[in-house]
Structure formats: structure tokens, C-alpha cells
Structure 1
Amino acid sequence: MTARLNPYIGFKDDARQAMEFYKSIFGGELVINTFGEFGAAEGAEADKVMHAHLESPSGFVLMASDTPEGMDHTPGSAITISLSGEASDGLQGYWDQLSDGGTVTMPLEKQMWGDVFGMCTDKFGVGWMVNIATANAPTGAEATT
């Protein structure tokens, strides 16, 4: 049996917009189901996302939902998603898009361990880390945004 570990992100009323944003970056197929589709809510709550699933052509999987009324929600407080590999152009592109409109907490630049690494929080409050392995890592101005 094959098992997979996937990030599941909780949002407060903007899961649809966030997942569409991630789809614009990573591509792939996005499936969104609402609370109303399953009879779990009525009125304004019915249009909220009960479950969203994005699977990219690269094999990345992100899942998400809106937090129902009455449940606590603290954006980005307990999750950071890490993207790493040797695909310099692809990872640089993801960084550029994820950090656009967000907050860079550590610029994407060469680190003491030799790789290019950066951290940001996107415009939806989700933390991201990007690590580009040394063999294909950009240097100098290429490694910054």
C-alpha cells in the first residue's frame, strides 16, 4: 500500500481564492467541494469550501478548506510548506509568485550550507520555504527577487 503525506491548510473564508492562486502557480487540476454540496450548511456558509484538492503536474498535492463558523482559526500559525530540489528555474518561479504580495522573511539567496534558500509568507498567510540545491542554484542577483 502506498501512503502520501500532504499539507492540508485551513483558511477563513478565502480557501477558494487561495487554492486558485496556488493553481495559477503550480498548475494542475483543482477540485473544490462546498459545504452546501454535501448538505452540511445553508446560506452564506453553503458556499464555503469543505474540501479542496490540487494536484500539480509535478506531483505536488495541496488540500484546504474554510474553517466553519464557531471554530477557531489562526492563519499560518502551525504550517510552513517546503519546496526543494534542483530545478532552479521552476523553484525560482514558484518563489517569485509566492512571495509577490506577501512578506519575505528570509531573502532567496545563497546560504552557509551552499544552497540557495529563502522563506516567505504568501498573501494568504501561509509560510513557504524554497531550497534550490547547490548544483543548479542561481548565484548573485539571479537568486534574489
Structure 2
Amino acid sequence: MSLTTTTHLNFRGDARAALEFYQSVFGGRTVVRTYAELGMPGDAPGADHVVFGQVETADGFRLLAYDIPGQAGPSAGMAGSTRRENGVTITDQTFFVSVEGQSLEEVQGYWDRLSVGGSIVEPLAASAWSAGFGMLTDPFGVTWVLGVVADRPTD
């Protein structure tokens, strides 16, 4: 048996812009279907919003997104906030999206693109557990943890 976990993000009308942004960061192919394409009358409010959106890359990165029906306005801030204070991460968000790469160079490329228009929570740098670890919140309010794959103990 094989199990796959895929992050599914919820937006307030800007899922298409978020998916385009994530495709520019990670590459791959984007699929977007609107409520109108799946049967909602085209003149209904929100018919042009995303009911199914996906970014998928050949190397296994996959992200799903949609616009919450009846919600409008920027998504940034709806998930809460995250910051560093006195060496501790303080957050009221219920999740972070974690992405690991094989090298600092690979992760740095994602970091550079993902941080555009966002805010750095913890700069990408070597840590006690990884050759590179950092945290940022993107322009859509999603907090990402990026790191280099570390050797993990096998118990």
C-alpha cells in the first residue's frame, strides 16, 4: 500500500493567482477548473473562482487549492500569523507547509522565489539539524518551512 499526502490550500477568491505564483516557484504543470466550468451559472457571483486547482511537478511536488464559496477578499491574514520572538516561533496558524530539498542550492532557489512579496520569519541558514532551514510567510498568507533533508535517526 502507498499513501500520499497533498497540501490543499483554501483561498478567498485569489486561488488562481496563488496557483500561478506557486507554479512560478516550483515549476510543473497547473490545472485550474472554475465553478462555472463544473455547472454553476456563468453569471453567478464567484462562478469564475477556482473549484479545483493543482500544481504538480515531475519530481513529486503537488499542491491543491480552491476558493471557498461565498468568500471574497485577500487571503493573506486569514490563516493567522507567525513570527519569531526571543528565539521562539510564535504562531496562531494551525499548519505550516514544509518542503525539503536535497541541497542548500536547490532549497535556496525555491526560497528566493517563494519569499518575493512575503515576509521572512526565520532566514534560511544552517541549523543544528540541517544544512539549511528557514521559515517565511508568502504573499497569500501561507507559512512555509524550507529545509535541506537531514540525516534522520532510524529507530
TM-score, normalisation: structure 2: 0.77
Q: Deviations over 1:17-62 (max 9, x none)?
A: 0001111111111110101111235433100000101111221000
Kindly state the Cα deviation for residue 114 of structure 1 after the two structures are TM-superposed.
4.5
RMSD of aligned Cα (Å): 2.2
Q: Deviations over 1:62-90 (max 9, x none)?
A: 0000011169x833633311111323222
In 1, are the aligned partners of 2:130 and 2:148 still within 8 Å (CA)?
A: no
Letter in 2 for 1:75: A
| Partner of residue 82 from structure 1, selected from 98, 116, 133 | 98
Letter in 1 for 2:94: A
Q: Which runs of 5+ in 2 are unaligned?
A: 81-92
Letter in 1 for 2:117: G
Correspondence list, 1:31-42, <5 A? 31-40=31-40, 42=43
SS of equivalent to 1:46: coil
In 2, are the aligned partners of 1:7 and 1:81 still within 8 Å (CA)?
A: yes
| Aligned residue-pair number | 134
> 2:27 is matched with which residue?
27
Letter in 1 for 2:19: M
Q: Output the CA distance in 2 between the equivalents of 1:62 and 1:114.
A: 24
TM-score, normalisation: structure 1: 0.82
Which has the larger share of helix? 1
Q: Which runs of 5+ in 1 are unaligned?
A: 136-145
SS of equivalent to 2:54: strand
